[in-house]
Every structure is written in structure tokens, then in C-alpha cells.
Chains A and B, each alone.
Chain A
Amino acid sequence: MSDFVEVKDLRRLFDVSKPLVTRLIERAPKQYLKAVDGVSFSIRKGETFALVGESGSGKSTVARMVVGLLPATEGTITIDGVSMRDKADAAARQKLRRRIQMIFQDPYASLNPRWRVERIVAEPIRAFGLITTPDAIRARVGELLTLVGLHPDDGRKFPHEFSGGQRQRIAIARALASNAEFLVCDEPTSALDVSVQAQILNLMKELQESFGLTYLFISHNLAVVRYMATRIGVMYLGRLVEIAPARELFARPRHPYTRMLLDAVPDLHMSGRTRTPVGGEIPNPINPPPGCTFHPRCPLANERCRREAPAFIDGVACHAVEEGRVAA
């Protein structure tokens, strides 16, 4: 199967310089934060590709660039053969828009509190002019609400009348309204309680099976990612450190950071297990360490790691793995 989404050497800088006058007085140069630095991955049709990482790893920035909410500084994003930056593809891109939707983390912030649910869900239908008669739109909205486990009559209500889990269902109904094929989900369940999280994750899996949806799934929760993803990319300080099929990543993590992450997650059935706590925290991304950005926390770091950034070879970016210093 060919790749549905292809992301190549994606970079995004944020200007975090001080105000111009301060800069002139202090003779300080402009300062940039590398939120995403050379990220490449591809997603096949119908699969769930997950990006995991801790805060500040750049996973949400990647998601925003993929849907087009944020322009990339460098790099290319190609979805179903259409470039998201190339001017020549502008017409094709317009057609593609309908097929891409996003689900956000906070269902309290992502629904307009002054609109009734039916208007929220119908917005993509109206925006893309998919259905024109009011009756047909109403019928379609009812159908979408039923699909996500709500009642068609719920359309008359306002978002504040729903719980967090129900709101996330509304957000999913809205995303499906334009017959989207590719959903970018940025931490869709991290604002929800576990029993509600289970409902939403199950719903997302069911919808994927019935409509053949493709997901880019962003999460910091490794257990959730394991449940959802086909393939997983692990990010650290704006770079991908490892990509592997889900099962393989959990059975045989290769990058020292992936190992550390897996080791750090408290798990239900490991009570009393002695863990090896890792020292340190994610460094400031404005001044990342030279060489491999993980080297200050890495138990395997040597001189080369401190000097030279590792290339992404065969699914992992690590000198220790490349040199065979670690049992891969």
C-alpha cells in the first residue's frame, strides 16, 4: 500500500527574541526555538500513526503543521500525492481540505459555547457545500450524532449541557461531518476520566474500522498509544528518536530514551517492581545540548554523542545503537 501522508524534513522555528528595543540595548541577537527539527515519517492509509513524547517534544506542533494550522519553516508535507505547500497544487489542496479534520485535546474549548450542537456539527457540511437543503442537513446531523453514540435530539442542546466525554463525541461527529478520511487527534482523551477515555478510544477504533479512517494520534500516554497505534514515533526535543511498529516498540525498544520512557510509566500490574529512575528533565529547547540532545540524560553517552547529532538510520537515531554499543 502506498503512503497516504508523507512528511519530510519538517522544521519549525519560533521566534522567541526579546523586543526589538531591548535587543538593541543589550546587543542580543535574535533567538529561535526549534520546536520541530527535521522530522520525517509516513502514514499508510487506514493505519494509526502515533507520536509520543513528553511536554516540549514538538508533537503537537507537528500535528498542527500536518493539518495546516501552522506553516512549516522548512520541509514538505504530502497528503495523498498533493503537496501542502506547493503553489501549483492549490486547487487540488482545496479539494483535499474536506478529507482532513482535527480533534483537539480540550472539548471544553473546541466547541463554540454559543452555538447549538446541530449547528456545530453541520458547519463542515455547510462550509464545503456538501448538502444544501436544511432538511437533508438536519437528517445528516442526526445520523452523525447517532454514529458517535448520542441522540439526534441532542442537536438542540448547547455544549455546556454535555459532559466532557459527550463533548468529545460531538467533536468527533463534527470531524466526520465532511466525510473526512484523515483525522489528526491531538491528545483526544487526556482531559477525560479513565472510564470515559475507554469509551472514546473504543469509539475511535470502531469508526476507524467502519470507515477505514487514517489517524495521526498525538499522546503523551504510552499505554493509550499502545492500545491505539499501528506504528509509533517517539519524539524528544523536536526530533524523532525512534519509529517502530507498535508491538515491536514495546517488546524491543531500541533508543535509550524510549527505554527510559517505558521504564518510567507506572503500570497496574507492576506493583512493587523496583524501577531504575532516570535522572534529569527535558532541557530548555531554546538552548538544547549540542550533539545528541538526549546525551545529558543518557546512560550510554560518549564523546561522539556530545559532539555530533545522530542521523536517523533504520528507524532509530542513536550513535550507541548504530555502533552496536547497545543490544538492539
Chain B
Amino acid sequence: MSSPLPGQPVLSVRDLRVEFATRRGVLKAIDGVSFDIARGEVLGVVGESGAGKSVTGSAVIGLIEPPGRIAGGEIVLSGERIDNLPAEALRRIRGKRIGMIFQDPLTSLNPLYTVAEQLVETIRTHEDMTARQARTRAIDLLAEVGIPAPERRIDSYPHEFSGGMRQRVVIALALCAGPELIIADEPTTALDVSVQAQIITLLKKLCRDHGTAVMLVTHDMGVIAETADRVAVMYAGRIAEIGPVREVVSRPLHPYAAGLMGAIPTLDQDIGRLVQIPGSMPRLTAIPPGCAFNPRCPRVFDRCRVDRPEPIEHRPAHKVACHLYDPAERSAALEAQP
């Protein structure tokens, strides 16, 4: 059960909806999101603040706290549905079959316990091992994530490590039980660029070696471009575009994705002026009808204001939720363009 059948995705999310009940009514944080992640694959999830990328990650590991709730859809881990499991069963999956890496390594480690205590506890929770065996395994893990002199460093407290080393410890913790899937939520955002590069390289290598699937949530398109195999661009709780990372970066289809790529200053070319998307992402209380991006879209037409676009497979394995790519609209839209 724990290893997926050949060809079966490690994670399969179908039409996921997450709602938050507030005084001002029900907010739809995630509204119909579907994607798969295969074994050994890194799926990048990008979007700006409020796009719903972190909530998607939390939903997969079952960490949506009330008043939030999963209002619909399915989450399937290696063929087994996990979104409707009781809390206790989910707790056993969390940490064992799904590992987690969060943004701030200082808050995801307990400051009062040594790294050894935290690693050994986690290993023994999920695997049948003696304390001594678990300690040996912990030292091996620390060596694998590139911590020098792990047999000495293992008895240090988190504050005795630098930021980059601390994030390595967090990665070791996530790898403890040999998970099938790792959810990394902004794993490099709190780090300096030179350290960020080290962590990205490490994460990539580990996934390749272990065949772990990774859902990499970040706002940094550069990190995605270097790390991910495929990327999902999220906007206002929905996936605007999903496809192979090179295609999305160099030939984005959705007007939002295109604007986003143009808005990022790059190192290797002179730009006179950055592409500017007018306005900002709508608040969840005021998502416009039709396509959520329509008030900011440079290529908006009547249908966008009333009819919500569904993902269309425009190129093989490359889906886009935009009426411009609807074969029925396409001829009309092309005619309208000079």
C-alpha cells in the first residue's frame, strides 16, 4: 500500500475545495483545484499572497484548522483516499508517509530539545527501532543532508545551528520515516541567496535519490525554475495554468502567468521597463464573477466576466484555465485581433 503501483501518481488531488466560515460569509480559499504528482517528481506551486498555495499544502497534510474545512473534492495518496480519514489515522500518515518542511526552521524545531532528541523521537514514533538504532539512523540522516561532524553536532540545540544548517535539520526530520511525499512550504524564503542555493541543490538530490515526490510551494519563480519539473500557477484559489516548468516560464499561456513572468526582473538581460499587471489580487470576500483575473486582464472579453473558465489541455500535459484557449472561442478571438 505504501508504494504506488507503476504509473500511479503518489499524490492525486481532484477538485479540492477549502472554505473558511467567517462572520462575513463563507470564503472559498481553494475552489476546484486538481493536480497529480508522480514518483520522484517536483511540482512547484507558485502564486502571490492569498492565491491559496499554502492552504493547498495544508489541506493535503490535513492541517486545515477550524473555521476552515475541506468542503469537497478528493485527496488520494498512492491510491488511498486520505481526506476523509479520522484524525488519528491521518496523524499516523503525517510525518511517516508525508514529510513537511516549513519556511522558518526556527519555529519548526523545538528549542528545548536537542536535535538528537527530536530526530530519535520522530524516528521511533514511525518505525519499530531501539533508541540506539534510531540514534545511528539520525546520525546517518544528518550526514546525508550535509551537516559536518554529525556525531558531535547531533547533541546540539537548534539555536546552536546557523539558519541554513537548521533548515538541513528540518529536512532530515522530514526524511526520517522515508516519506513518499514531501510538502515544502517556502523552504528557502527565510535564507540568504548563497544558502538558498545549497538547500535547493540538496532538496533536488535527495528527491532524486529516494524517488520522493515533492510539492514545492513558493512565491519565488526563480526557485521553481531551478527545482521543479512541473509548475502550477495559482490565482485567487484556482490553478490558472499547470504544465512543464520550461514551457510555463518561457511560453506562458495564461495572461496572468505571462504578466507574472514579465514582472520578474532578471539577471541576464537589460530590461527597459518591467511588465506591470494593473491592480492587485482580489480579496477572498470580493472575487469577481466569471474569471477571477478578468478585471486585471489585458485580453479580457465579454465571456470572461460571466463564465468561469475550466482547465483546458492546450498542449500535451499543459493545461490552462482561460477562455482564450477554448477552441470555440479561439477562432472568434483570433479574428478580433488585428
Contacts and interface: CB of A to CB of B under 8 A. Distances in A.
Interface string B135-166: 00000000000000000000000000011110
A250 to B, nearest CB: 6
Contacts of A220: 192-193
B276 A278 contact: no
Given A193-B48, A222-B193, A277 B201 contact: yes
A55 B274 CA distance: 26
A201 B274 CA distance: 8
B317 interface: no
Contacts of A275: 197, 201, 226
Given A268-B264, A269-B266, 17 more contacts: A193-B48, A196-B280, A198-B262, A198-B263, A220-B193, A226-B265, A227-B271, A227-B274, A250-B267, A264-B193, A266-B220, A268-B261, A270-B225, A271-B225, A271-B249, A275-B197, A277-B198
Interface in A197-222: 197-199, 201-202, 205, 220-222
Contact of A54 (B194, B200, B268): B194
Interface string A259-291: 011111111111111010111011000000000
Interface residues of A, number: 44
A194 B221 contact: yes
Looking at A165, A195, A222, the one whose CB has the most chain B CB atoms below 10 A away is A195
Given A201-B265, A202-B274, A227-B274, A261 B193 contact: yes
Q: Is the interface of A mostly helix, strand, loop or mixed?
A: helix
Contact of A195 (B222, B260, B267): B260
B23 to A, nearest CB: 17
B226 A271 contact: yes
Contacts of B219: 193-194
Contact of A224 (B165, B194, B265, B278): B265
Contacts of B221: 194, 268
A326 interface: no
A60 to B, nearest CB: 14
A267 B194 contact: no
11 contacts: A195-B277, A198-B276, A223-B267, A260-B194, A264-B194, A267-B226, A267-B266, A268-B222, A268-B249, A269-B225, A281-B164
Given A195-B259, A267-B267, A271-B246, A281 B163 contact: yes
Nearest to A197: B263
Counting from the closest, the 5 A-B pairs by CB-CB distance are A266-B222, A198-B263, A193-B48, A54-B192, A227-B265
Residue of B163, B273, B275 with highest tally of chain A CB at under 10 A = B273
Contacts of B259: 195
A281 B163 CA distance: 9
B321 to A, nearest CB: 18
A304 interface: no
Contacts of B196: 264, 266
Interface in B237-280: 245-246, 249-250, 259-268, 270-271, 273-278, 280
B281 to A, nearest CB: 8
B49 interface: yes
Interface in A129-161: none
Contacts of A199: 276-278
B193 A265 contact: yes
